Chain A
């Protein structure tokens, strides 16, 4: 009787190492082998995340020059600066995968890469600054805390720092709202109005329902993503409801109620057609946001060219100095 030859099933070599790294919840690092799909998925996600930070500076950045106290001015200025810093870490993380910041910026400006739909809504009053901190940074934290454990090392490590700062921003936003709610009737109305306008777009930040999220399954298998869109959305609602009660505002959803059986809040569905429209470029501020980013990039071209020219002249002078 012949002994059957044992042949290993499944992948071998670098692919097996990769699968094993994922299975053991270890980090994939820039010089490790990785499937092309993993690399392109990550580049797309990280670039989109970086762009969101950069475009996300605009809705709040508009209020820095008008902030109604010097303390609020300092808080807001620092927050918007943090967002620029987050953009930088994230572009750097994408560069470890072979992407290039200049190229990513070009893709943002010509619409080939996207950013979070939430930043296509206008900021109408200073209360929006507080509500963005509370809702938008809160939603970002729900999305990003699990990303601290994402399988790609540089992305996960960037997220650790980003999450710490976002948590700070969320508390600052909430604290602004608490202060405003203790102010005049007009201020309380401003807060409620901002809550009404930002609630549904904030729920959309988690993306379409799981059934309509085409890229989710593969990202979950690769442990780039750790929780589904709907799970994260639920977590955000459960976290926010008691905060709204404490603040004294009403969340604009008649279907919102505690479900004892599920141990979660039930809530209504956002207008998914609106999300589709905003993502495809037809939100209230899409054109304005991209136009601003494009103008800054184009108007700054001569500055970047000057820096490059100076750097290469300097390198030449150093070489010639060394040769002499």
Chain B
């Protein structure tokens, strides 16, 4: 599996393939495999990640977008609208990178189901969810391949992706649904490279997004992202709340060490006095831990909304 988390439809299968390969290698040598692969990363989804009786279910619509800010790229995205949304007042907003993964009802996150349950109980506000895939440049000839633009969009520091959201994609959503303009009601989330992307959006535009959830975030040197922690320490504190998750068995490769980079982020957030929570488990580079604690993370993120507005 790719260190920047593969957003394609079969990431779990690929990851399993790697595990199987390593396990069978060990099995051949030592017959020890069963003792190994069950000792860590055994997180499971709780009841908030499954449909519950009597809970209204929101609707999810899929559409697509051709960008000018990332020239020539195309992408799918999904919009979740809770049943409680009636347009009488602006809804909160939460944006997810690698949208296909987060909106998948059989995946590691199942966000529409989690939203249904938490909104029903009033543990988070009535929230429009926007799940965006990374862009790709389609090929011009039948014998050529489309080119993924994911790493460029997600791993790059700077404001290009924030501009894409604020000038292109979110106005499309806002044309159909009333979204709050208050950054306290606007959150952004991602996994791996999508997580550093989420942080970068809030960092560049804290006037637009004040809440972040990061799953196994790539705060490593894929494209300079290892600078995030030092920047936090030496920049006047920004009004951003972040829930950060990683695991001791996350990647360690040419771009850096994910466990160390996430600990570095947590230390910098603490140093600079941010409102943050760091969940450091023993998982690998996947969404198992992040998915299992997503309901808890959302409750923490939205705990005082809309009180915080006052």
Do A and B make up one complex?
no
Q: Which residues of B contact A (CB under 8 A)?
A: none
Instruction: Please list the residues of chain A having a beta carbon within 8 angstroms of any beta carbon in chain B.
Output: none
